[in-house]
Amino acid sequence: MSQLFISYIALGSNLEDPIVHLNEALLEIKALPNTKITQASQFYRTKPIGPEQPDIINAVIKVETGLAPYDLLHALQKIELEHGRERIIRFGARTLDLDILLFNDVQMNDAELTIPHPRMQDRNFVLIPLKEIAPDLHLAPFGHIDDLITRNDPEDYVIPLDFEALGNKS
Ligand code: ADP
Ligand code: MG
């Protein structure tokens, strides 16, 4: 049997119907060769970074996969493209963004792929969904997930959609 790796992947969308894009992406990731989703956070509505644009819907999943890092990256990029993803403005609005956060305990940094994801430690819209499925995570280069969340900007809103559905406002 081939080796299985654990990876955490962040999903985000803020164009067209973000919830549909995220739900479809979950099915498409599940259908990748030798890959299964073992945990998924709920969906969160979060404050975008970059130019003026709609709120983003974010989630984080844990997968078990036989795909090597570049194979996983390319498979995720293919899914992004199938969702009409265009890279026009950096940090601009997007139909679907799929980022590899962690991949086993791999640490790598080249032109195409950096793991752990280079900006994850600064982004509560990544860390809060990640904490939901991995509450005790210690990020090797950065520290404990709780400390990172506390350190980041408290003005960033990261609101669970289930919470909103109960009539709560931010
Ligand atoms: P962002 O996710 O920061 O908004 P993009 O999705 O447009 O930006 O990705 C830009 C580039 O980031 C991709 O072409 C990809 O090669 C590179 N990249 C580097 N590390 C990663 C990673 N861990 N996960 C996903 N893409 C990555
Ligand atoms: Mg990306």
Q: What pLDDT digit, counting tens, does each position of 28-45 carry? A: 999 999 999 999 999 999
Query: What spacing in Å lies between the alpha carbon of 143 and ligand 1's midpoint?
Result: 22
In a domain, 165, yes or no: no
Mean pLDDT of the chain: 92
What's the total number of domains in the chain?
A: 1
Closest-CA residue to 65 (of 108, 5, 17, 138): 5
Contact 170, 46 (CB under 8 A): no
With CA atoms as reference, report the closest residue to 18 among 38, 49, 44: 44
Within a domain: 138: yes
Tell whether 123 is covered by a domain. Answer: yes
Q: What is the pLDDT of residues 129-170, one digit of tens each?
A: 999 999 999 998 899 999 999 999 888 899 999 877 777 755
**Which is nearest to 36 in space by CA: 66, 78, 59, 71?**
66
Torsion from C-alpha of 50, 53, 59, 64, nearest 10 degrees: -60
* For the CA of 87, the nearest atom of ligand 1: 7
Options 55, 71, 85, 156, the catalytic residue: 85
Amino acid type, 120: M
Would you state the pLDDT for residue 170? 53
* Cβ < 5 A residues, ion ligand 2: 97, 99
Residues contacting residue 111 through CB under 8 Å, at least 6 positions apart: none
Does ligand 1 lie within 6 Å of residue 117's CB atom? Answer: yes
Residue 122 lies in a domain: yes
Q: Which residue has the higher pLDDT, 94 or 88?
A: 94
Tell me: pLDDT of 118 over 90: yes
Evaluate: CB of 53 within 6 angstroms of ligand 1.
no
169 lies in a domain?
no
pLDDT band per the 50, 70, 90 thresholds, residue 1: low
105 is catalytic: no
Atom index in ligand 1 nearest the CA of residue 76 equals: 25
**Atom of ligand 1 at shortest range from CA of 91:** 4
Range of the structural domain that residue 131 is part of: 5-160
Whether residue 167 is contained in a domain is answered as: no
Question: Do 8 and 129 meet the contact criterion of CB atoms below 8 Å apart?
Answer: no
**Is 59 a residue whose pLDDT tops 80?**
yes
Q: Is 112 a pocket residue for ligand 1 (Cβ < 6 Å)? A: yes
In a domain, 130, yes or no: yes
> Residue 50 and residue 38: Cα distance in Å, rounded?
32
Q: What is the CATH classification number for the domain harbouring 129?
A: 3.30.70.560
The answer to whether position 55 is within a domain reads yes
DSSP state of 122: G
